[in-house]
Amino acid sequence: MHSLILFLETVNSPVLIAFLVSSLVLALSPGPDNIFVLTQSISNGTKSGLATVFGLVAGCLVHTTLLAFGVSQIIKRSDTLFFAIKLFGAIYLLYLAYQVYRSDASILLNKENNPAKSPRKLFWTGFTMNVLNPKVTIFFLAFFPGFLFSDSLNTVVQFYILGLLFMFSALIVFGAIAVLAGRISKYLSRHNKVGIYLKWVQIVVFVGIALYLFLSEK
């Protein structure tokens, strides 16, 4: 308890509150991650949507670690490394789009007959998508340092605390999207022609995110 009190005395609470509010606003802003969670939740239901969310959020821990130990600075300074990471990420997304293209649209909403869309697979898909996006690392590098909240606490510890707060805000917002979209999927599953539309929506989302990642600048 005494240690906790000492810790709280070194913390600039308004800075942490401002960071949390900013993180929630950023999570609410339309972007590739929101759209990906939305499409996967509609296609595969709430459980799979939440697995995707956990994967995306877990990937933030990797970017936080890169930031805390200075690796993000190396990525930012190296055009070759930045290009290689985003190229690999774009290729991976195009591969996912191809896998959806080859799938049978009639089972996209049938969880029992769709093992390729298991929660474990969607978790790792979300995790890999996040980790292979160097834009997230550069964003963390630009965003987090402005919210360091203590003059006495180790910087690495502060970055991890900020990273956990960011992950928490993303989990709340993306989780809400997954739950709401998952409920919609129960309605859509009663309509036979929805599968083909969802198939092409997923393809467009994957290709769109791949192009966004590949064409993005630092």
**Residue 164 resides in a domain:** yes
For residue 116, give the amino acid letter: A
Q: What percent of the chain has pLDDT over 70?
A: 78
pLDDT band, residue 188 (cuts 50/70/90): low
Other C-beta atoms closer than 10 Å to the C-beta of 199 total: 18
Q: What percent of the chain has pLDDT over 90?
A: 21
Long-range contacts of 63-67 (CB under 8 A, 24+ apart): 63/130, 63/131, 63/136, 63/137, 63/140, 63/163, 64/140, 64/159, 64/160, 64/162, 64/163, 64/164, 64/166, 66/137, 66/140, 67/137, 67/140, 67/141, 67/144, 67/159, 67/163
| 78/213 Cα distance (integer angstroms) | 17
Element (H, E) at 155: helix 155-188
Position 32 pLDDT exceeds 60: yes
Handedness of CA 42, 58, 25, 179 (dihedral sign): positive
Q: Which domain holds residue 51?
A: 32-215
**Residue 202 resides in a domain:** yes
**Residue 14 resides in a domain:** no
> pLDDT tens digits, residue range 140-159?
887 888 788 888 888 888 89
Predicted pLDDT of residue 130: 92
pLDDT band, residue 192 (cuts 50/70/90): low
**Token pair 């993303």 is at which residue?**
170
Position 36 pLDDT exceeds 80: yes
| 125/51 Cα distance (integer angstroms) | 9
How many domains does the chain divide into? Answer: 1
| 71/182 Cα distance (integer angstroms) | 37
List the structure tokens of 16.
């942490």
**Residue 142 resides in a domain:** yes
Predicted pLDDT of residue 182: 79
Higher pLDDT, 84 or 2: 84
**Residue 146 resides in a domain:** yes
Handedness of CA 184, 51, 134, 145 (dihedral sign): positive
> pLDDT tens digits, residue range 48-90?
899 999 999 999 999 999 888 887 677 677 788 778 877 877 8
**Residue 141 resides in a domain:** yes
**C-beta separation of 148 from 74 below 8 A:** no
**Residue 77 resides in a domain:** yes
Higher pLDDT, 84 or 169: 169
**Residue 20 resides in a domain:** no
pTM higher than the cut 0.85:
no
Predicted pLDDT of residue 113: 47
